[in-house]
Amino acid sequence: MLFPLIAGALAHYRVESAFYGLSIVDYLPYNLLRTWHLQLAIFWVATAWVAGGLFIAPLLSQKEPRYQKLGVDLLFAAD
């Protein structure tokens, strides 16, 4: 996915402003990379929270809620 690539680019940016000899400054500003990285982290936490609810609900109630398959499919498509 894109998240580890952005994290790697940010790490290289902090150390030497280059990514294996390529100047990152010309293509991706630091603030843009940092914002994108933070937003992806928040998205992953929110998706995991909803996915956990979709997984735990049938375990606790002993039956599958209506439209649960649709919720799982939407989360899969959002990823």
Q: Which H or E run includes 25? A: none
pLDDT tens for 45-55 read 998 888 888 88
Beta bridge partners of 19: 22
In the numeric block, which tokens belong to residue 12?
A: 């290289």
| Ordered alpha helix ranges (H), 1-79 | 2-16, 30-61, 68-78
Q: Is the dihedral of CA 42, 47, 53, 55 positive or negative?
A: negative
Phi, psi of 29 (to 5 degrees): -65, 150
Contact 6, 44 (CB under 8 A): no
61 pLDDT above the threshold of 70:
yes
Tell me how crowded residue 56 is: count the other CB atoms within 10 A of its CB.
Answer: 10
Mean per-residue pLDDT of the chain: 80
